[in-house]
Amino acid sequence: MSSRGIASFLLLTLTLAAPLAAQSLLLVEAPGPQPVFTEFTGPPALPCLYPNGPQLQVHPYSINGPCPKLTPIGGSPSILGDIAVNRVLDQVYIADGKRIGVFDASSGVQLNVMDLATLAMGNTTGLGYDAATNRLWITDGGTVTAATPSAAGSCLSPTPVLSWPSTIGTLTDLSWHPGTGLLWVCTAGGSIAAYTSAGALALAPYAAGVSCPLPMQLKGLEADPSTGCGGLLPQLFVSDGMRINHELAGTGTAAPPSFAFPTNCLVLGFAQQTAGLAYSARAITYGAGTGPTLGTAGGQTVLPNPAFTLTLAGGPPGGQAWLVVGTGAACPPLNFFGNPWYVNPFITTFGPFTLPASGALSLPAPLTGPAGPLPCGTTVFMQWVCRSTSFAWTSSAGLEFTASLP
């Protein structure tokens, strides 16, 4: 069977995987020597300290590129600035108030900067992105505007599509949720609500942070696109700049724990308040391997993503590799010929794959659409185990991802 055929069969077996939801988050840090955006998970949970984190990567955003650099976001307790993610292209949008920069989410490389002067808006307080329509949702607190981003490297302004006023007070952030087709917003008064794309109030304001008090002004909101996939209310992440509450939309009560966020109440630990939140559907690691490395290519785990690929690096040249796939993380890890086995319960293994002299392998694993064999919200666990030509065994760290809507 070809690697692509095996990958397709792999995805068919994953219908047994349990829905846990939630992956990693991005935020824009408060002013400092070098303004950055950070990707993180919840704190690793005892007793096995899964997943690896909480900090996954940090990239500067005030850097040189084809367009002028962004200005660092205003200091605490300013509500200006935000971050949003294009999960299809694996890109990050960052607003400094007057402009929106576009960056590669994996490297931080600047791709574009868009001036907002032509949108007849005040300074930006919140950003969201809808991949289905390629719309940036922008708010200055009093109005909400949808605009089409300009082409990469053009340094041109976005093109406005529609605009409508807030009817519930000053908006400090917003988030487009593809499963419900609603724009979720938070306010300076500490409430959360939802609008249709046309500006009709779909869910009346209610108090945020019921299960985890957020004493300061709300500054960040993100609707989890791996939850509420069938039109039900999603899980939300809401922040006052120093804390994040993972809660259920409509009630503010605690969301169930997930692998990436085992606790619903996160303390960020920065000296100053941060601005905004965004959800990144990126695979994350847990545990430590003994040689080979399991990675991914082709972008984030959104449905669909035909380019999604599982990779192996550092395997034994000329040896063999097996991919272990399952529905949970073994804690403590099992012992496999003196190496950690991180997947339990596991559905099956795929292989052996004979490794080239480079010890590297790419296994296409295209993610189909929401109606395909991998349901939105499904959480998957996997790792590589390898055997050298001298019959020595090694294993990689575990890898976990949750299938999400884009």
Q: State the pLDDT at residue 371.
A: 67
CA angle, 355 as apex, 349 and 358 as ends, to 5°? 135
CA angle 388, 391, 393 (to 5 degrees): 70
Looking at residues 75-99, what average pLDDT do you find?
88
Sorted by sequence, the CB contacts under 8 Å of residue 45 that are 6+ apart come out as: 262, 263
Q: Is the pLDDT of residue 159 over 90?
A: yes
Task: Assign 385 a pLDDT band (cuts: 50, 70, 90).
Answer: very high
Mean pLDDT of 226-238: 92
Measured CA to CA, the distance from residue 95 to residue 83 in angstroms comes to 6
Task: Indicate the residue type of 21.
Answer: A
pLDDT at residue 1 in the model: 42
Model confidence pLDDT, tens digit, residues 139-158: 999 999 999 999 999 999 99
| pLDDT score, position 393 | 98
| pLDDT higher at 61 or 23 | 23
Residue 52 has a pLDDT of 93
**207 φ, ψ (degrees, to nearest 5):** -75, 135
Reading the block at residue 341, the tokens are: 């086995």
**Per-residue pLDDT, 268:** 86
Q: What is the pLDDT of residue 97?
A: 83
Burial letters 61-81, b for 16+ CB under 10 A, else e = bbbebebebbebbbebebbbb
Question: pLDDT over 70 for what percent of the chain?
Answer: 92
Concatenating the DSSP letter of every residue in 130-178 gives ETTTTEEEEE-SSEEEEEEPPPTT--PPPEEEEEEE-SSS-EEEEEEET
Distance CA 28, CA 26 (A): 7
Mean pLDDT (the chain) is: 90
Q: Which of 210, 262, 266, 211 is nearest to 241 (CA)?
A: 266
Output the six-digit token pair for 167. 């009817």
Token pair of 340 as six digits: 């950690």
- Lowest-confidence region among 35-39, 142-146, 316-320, 351-355: 35-39
Mind listing the pLDDT tens digit for each residue in 174-198? 999 999 999 999 999 999 999 999 9
Element (H or E) spanning 278, and its range? Answer: strand 275-280
Report angle CA 341, 345, 351 to the nearest 5 degrees: 60
For position 19, what pLDDT does the model report?
56
Domains in the chain, CATH or no CATH each: 3-11+283-402 (2.60.40), 24-280 (2.40.128.630)
Predicted TM-score (pTM) of the model is 0.92
